[in-house]
Amino acid sequence: MLTKASSAADAAMTRRSVRAYLDTPVTDDELHSLLELTGRAPSSRNVQPWRFIVVRDQSIKNALEDASYGQKQVGGAPVVIVLYADMDDTMANLGEIVHPDVTPEKRAATLASLEQSFGAMSAEERAAWANGQANIALGYLLLIAASKGFGTAPMLGFQADRIKAILDIPASATITAMVALGRPGEDGFRSHRHAVERITRFR
Ligand SMILES: Cc1cc2nc3c(=O)[nH]c(=O)nc-3n(C[C@H](O)[C@H](O)[C@H](O)COP(=O)(O)O)c2cc1C
């Protein structure tokens, strides 16, 4: 059974998808800590376009499961975290991502530069860019969960429009992943990964 990892390296080596969970509840404090640490993920220009919806209500989890081709880990997990990227929210609040320590002049210049950069992109390009950033947070979430002894099942097998309707996620947002989470009730499959030499060239 997955045990608590003691380092990032340990978490990377031991984590695997877990699709069955114990009934043990996940506390508010545990979730807060998990999401606070996940939010430490870096992003281009520190834009942090990721947003989370934490679902514990069984009837909502059941609806999410139905919109996820009946994947049992959705309704069966104590918690389902829906991670999405929202550039409309991000762009409406660009001021909050500018570092508080910069001068007013630097702040104004940064805001103008961000507005210029994002304004030059199409809505589709912005959504794809933000989803790329939110995937960094997804990696953090999975590793941090493993380090705290949680099992997780990341998922993309769902009907995004239905998930958005159930959770009132803006149509313009991109759902990066759904993550079922709880204390592990199974071991999961042994990891199967490329060797470094297969995917790397040293020059
Ligand atoms: C973005 C993403 C989407 C995934 N979608 C699903 C899914 O919809 N259903 C599922 O059972 N597993 C899903 N997986 C799990 C992968 O199949 C799994 O991570 C991969 O086979 C490696 O196994 P491991 O997670 O146990 O190391 C997804 C994983 C990722 C990262």
Number of domains in the chain: 1
Contacts (Cβ under 8 Å, ≥6 apart) of 15: 2, 5, 142, 143, 145, 146, 152
Pick from 38, 37, 41, 80: nearest CA to 58: 80
* Distance in Å, CA 59 to ligand 1 centroid: 24
* Distance in Å, CA 18 to ligand 1 centroid: 9
Two structure tokens written together for 74: 């959705």
Compute the average pLDDT of residues 141-166.
98
Give the residue, by CA position, lying nearest to ligand 1 atom 17: 17
Please give the Cα distance from 129 to 87 (Å, whole number). 9
Pick the atom of ligand 1 nearest to 68's CA.
8
Cβ count near 144 (within 10 Å): 23
CATH number of domain containing 170? 3.40.109.10
Whether residue 138 lies inside any domain: the answer is yes
Q: What percent of the chain has pLDDT over 90?
A: 97
User: What's the burial of 105, exposed, middle or buried (CB within 10 Å: 0-12/13-18/19+)?
Assistant: exposed
Q: What is the pLDDT of residue 2?
A: 52
Whether residue 100 lies inside any domain: the answer is no
pLDDT at 114 over 60: yes
Whether residue 46 lies inside any domain: the answer is yes
Whether residue 77 lies inside any domain: the answer is yes
Structural domain boundaries enclosing 169: 8-88+123-199
Please give the Cα distance from 57 to 51 (Å, whole number). 19
Q: What is the pLDDT of residue 171?
A: 97
Q: What is the pLDDT of residue 6?
A: 79
DSSP 45: G
* Distance in Å, CA 157 to ligand 1 centroid: 9
Angle at 135 between CA 57 and CA 59, to 5 degrees: 10
Q: What is the largest CA-CA distance in the chain?
A: 55
Whether residue 98 lies inside any domain: the answer is no
Asked if residue 58 lies in contact with residue 75, where contact means CB atoms within 8 angstroms, the answer is yes
Pocket test for ligand 1, best of 74, 81, 155, 179 (most atoms within 8 A of CB): 155
Whether residue 109 lies inside any domain: the answer is no
Two structure tokens written together for 171: 């149509």
Compute the average pLDDT of residues 168-195.
97
* Distance in Å, CA 93 to ligand 1 centroid: 33
* Distance in Å, CA 112 to ligand 1 centroid: 39
For the chain, what is the mean pLDDT? 96
Give the residue, by CA position, lying nearest to ligand 1 atom 24: 16
Two structure tokens written together for 76: 């069966």
Compute the average pLDDT of residues 152-157.
98
Q: What is the pLDDT of residue 198?
A: 98
Q: What is the pLDDT of residues 18-66, one digit of tens each?
A: 999 999 999 999 999 999 999 999 999 999 999 999 999 999 999 999 9
Pick the atom of ligand 1 nearest to 191's CA.
27
User: Is residue 4 very low, low, confident or very high in pLDDT (cuts 50, 70, 90)?
Assistant: confident
Q: What is the pLDDT of residue 1?
A: 54
User: What's the burial of 136, exposed, middle or buried (CB within 10 Å: 0-12/13-18/19+)?
Assistant: middle
Whether residue 39 lies inside any domain: the answer is yes
How far CA 51 is from CA of 130, 159, 175, in Å, comes to 11, 18, 9
Q: Residues with Cβ within 6 A of ligand 1? A: 16-17, 71, 153-157, 177, 188-189, 191
Cβ count near 55 (within 10 Å): 19
Whether residue 102 lies inside any domain: the answer is no
